[in-house]
Structure 1
Amino acid sequence: MPRLALIPVLALLSALPVAPVAAQEAEPTFCTARINDRDVVMGYDKAEARLSDTYSRREQLATRIGRHDCPSYVVLRSLTPELTDEERLPFCLRFDKASESVMGYDLGARDAWGVCHSQTRAVCRRVNQTTAAAGALSGAAARRSVQGLQALPDASGAVILSGAGTAVSGALASLGGAAAAVAASPVLLTGAAVSVVAVGGTLYACRE
């Protein structure tokens, strides 16, 4: 009898609606970016793009009407994978109109397409990913112990040291430790103007 009594219960359970399985992750939207004169295919999440502060309305409209160029924030992410979107705030895309190609990234304000408002020939490159070196520069900015060093008033937390390459190298050397090791970088040992950026535990040098 107890076993027979279970039959209606099991039948009732089988008749209950089954909860829908969690939806699978959305398929990425593919786009093409021209970087250093080469077409690069990338994927991104359109839902995230609509919520991104770094994805301008103009870019959203261009995507909606069928253009498949990659949004600028997707391109900048590919060039600086070690940073968060907030830490990327000081950087903009350097765009060459002649070749219609992104040639790298630089410091400065962005236009609606993520391109640097003021076009220069400067390109930023990662110099060092030692947290100690970036921390030394940030600490010097807080103490105001190095001339020409400034902390940006935004969410990036970036600290920038600008000047002639030899002067910047000398300032880094004066901090000692990991910063002094960066001071010997060939990128800095030049008379040309250079900016060193400490953000996200990484140092970048921006120069022509």
Structure 2
Amino acid sequence: MRLTLLPLLGLGLLAALPARAELVRCTTSLRGEAVGFAYDPQNEALRGSRSLREKVLGGKKGVDCPGLVTLRALTPELDDAGRAPFCLQWDEKAGTYLGYATGARDPWGHCRAPSRSFCERVNGSAAAAGRIMGNASGIAREAEAQVSANPVGAVVIEGQGARLGAKLRDMGASAVLGLSPAGLAAVAVTAVAVGGAVYVCSDQGAEGAALAAAPEALPPEGSVIGEAGAGPVLRAEDMATDLPATSGDGMVPMLTIAPPDLSPAGPPAPPAAVPPAAPPAQP
């Protein structure tokens, strides 16, 4: 009986293993630098995002990552619903992505109406996002701004830099110094609260509202770009291995590998002293 059950148990364990997914390498260009990533071509959102034109004609020269993969890499803290207000800013002359802005997307995920505007995530915006989303109409009224058509899960407020920037600071976003009130007054700003974060979009990025932009944190070279962020860094031999599991909130966990300890080994520790055995109890 035991010899019969063991093979059956092994088959059951094999059946429970996840199917092996073939990842695809791709290259994009971010601010003049070529960056390689990997993605799952069977991902439903990616398949739906790629237009027939993109599939037939391909992407831009030197860029074969789908537009949504690049946008995911630039906004790893968001999911695809949170990315709805944003499009990619492509510089045709330089042949590279400058960043992302608000607006409608073309078949490649690029902004249909390119402009000088680009967006930056604002420091200290986690708490501010909830306040802005909960009082968008009040903020717009006090800042003499307007709340535009809201993409799913986002609040978009457009106004003049000095007034809207002041209200964002009141909501808990960080401020920077060095821009004159006259300079701010001439800047049009769009604030986007989505996914627990705040983004400022203007010709001067976060500076256009006198706010501090969050430090840039692009996924490492070779990362697997999932729906809401980057997965483990890949080696060449890993390209056909199983995709990383996701956590409950949809984020792909980062893989941290501790470096080996290369310090020289010291002399072996002396053996621990063994206490003498207690004498047997006398009757």
Structure 1 residue 150 corresponds to structure 2 residue 169: no
Structure 1 residue 75 corresponds to structure 2 residue 70: yes
1:48 to 39, 43, 52: 43
**Within-5 A mapping of 1:40-189:** 40-48=35-43, 52-61=47-56, 69-141=64-136, 145-146=141-142, 147-150=144-147, 152-155=149-152, 157-173=153-169, 176-179=170-173, 182=174, 184-185=175-176
1:139 deviation in Å? 1.5
8 A contact 2:164–2:189 mirrored in 1: yes
8 A contact 2:145–2:159 mirrored in 1: yes
The structure with more helix, counted as a fraction of residues: 1
Runs (4+) of structure 1 moved beyond 6 Å?
none
Aligned length: 191
Structure 1, unmatched stretches of 5+, are: 1-8
Aligned-residue RMSD, C-alpha:
2.8
Q: 1:151 to 1:14 in 2, by over 3 A?
A: same
The structure with more strand, counted as a fraction of residues: 1
Larger Rg: 2
Query: Structure 1 length normalisation: TM-score?
Result: 0.78
Structure 2, unmatched stretches of 5+, are: 204-283
8 A contact 2:148–2:158 mirrored in 1: no
- The amino acid that maps onto 1:164 is Q
How many Å separate the matches in 2 of 1:106 and 1:203?
A: 13
After superposing the two structures, state which structure 1 stretch, 15-24 or 100-109, moved more: 15-24
Query: Structure 2 length normalisation: TM-score?
Result: 0.59
1:203 deviation in Å? 0.8
Q: 1:35 to 1:195 in 2, by over 3 A?
A: same
Higher relative CO (Cα under 8 Å, sequence separation at least 6) belongs to 2
After superposing the two structures, state which structure 1 stretch, 163-172 or 13-22, moved more: 13-22
8 A contact 2:161–2:188 mirrored in 1: yes
1:170 deviation in Å? 3.2
- The amino acid that maps onto 1:205 is V
Q: Which SS does the other structure have where 1:128 is aligned?
A: coil
Alignment-derived partner of residue 232 in structure 2: none
